[in-house]
A and B are shown apart, each in its own frame.
Chain A
């Protein structure tokens, strides 16, 4: 029993620290996010996932950037301008800096994590706006697990999994730091499916992503993600279920892929 647990832990740790063979700088994926309104899917926002190279005087990092922008017809009802960024090592996708800058219908929140991979600590900064429109800040130092990553890095690390070798019902675990709290998600291989996308008909890996019941996004949160069954493992389609409804994410375009 102990041996099998050890092998499982080594397997998971191996997956998390595996070399990046999927994500290249200059990649841009554009999605349409739709929400199910009384059984009818309505396009709400455009989600963009983009990577680029960032150079400092000491090193070259990769910026993983995700933005969510509501379509203009919704701006007068509920305007979303969200920005998520993570600065990672290009070879192993290890995060060093994470930023979340969200503006959703007047609700503003900024989170920043400075990861120290040697001491497994994170310097966290949270900035919010109070009812008077004034900003206030909260700084914390958090101790995290050695495999804890931010949300954006985790999305890219899922793509970097060696899914081709996975069997149906194989599961990998990822620990995510979100709102200063760590939680673990399970990524389960559900099988292969061929689906029609804006990129053509694609054979895909179908992955089920389940979150713990007491997660920050609320109870009954589940995602199903379709990644192309090729070396790029492009997320072409996603279905999500959140406490206030469900929706889907469909790819519009994919450029700058590694393979």
Chain B
């Protein structure tokens, strides 16, 4: 049982770290919270057994939290490369004018 909880704890902590460094950092909070809960649980049920897993899980989660906080505070949402789109817009407008020239526009 303890081994299973430790395994899930490690998986949660790693998942938190992986998500924290991707644009999905917002949702890294969920495995992060699970990892902390499992770390506390492992500490409680460990008695005289090694408590190293607790330290590793918490360390991974703290590093992930650092990335999450950094992303939240410093990363700005900026649009990517729009050159191709701007070119498409210009071409589309030119073609549209050609099309409109052929239509019988009688609204004026």
Contact = CB atoms under 8 A, between A and B. Distances in A.
Q: Do A and B actually bind?
A: yes
Interface of chain A, main secondary structure: strand
Contact of B108 (A59, A70, A114): A59
A81 B87 CA distance: 12
B80 A97 contact: no
Interface string A92-113: 1010110101000000000000
Contacts, number: 94
Contacts of A32: 77
A71 B77 CA distance: 6
B89 A70 contact: no
Contact of A43 (B77, B84, B96, B107): B77
A37 B100 contact: no
A58 B99 CA distance: 12
A96 to B, nearest CB: 6
Interface string A53-84: 01011111101010101111111010101010
Interface residues of A, number: 40
A99 B77 contact: no
B79 A54 contact: no
B108 A101 contact: no
B97 to A, nearest CB: 6
A85 B26 contact: no
B107 A63 contact: no
A3 interface: no
Nearest to B29: A40
B44 interface: no
B47 interface: no
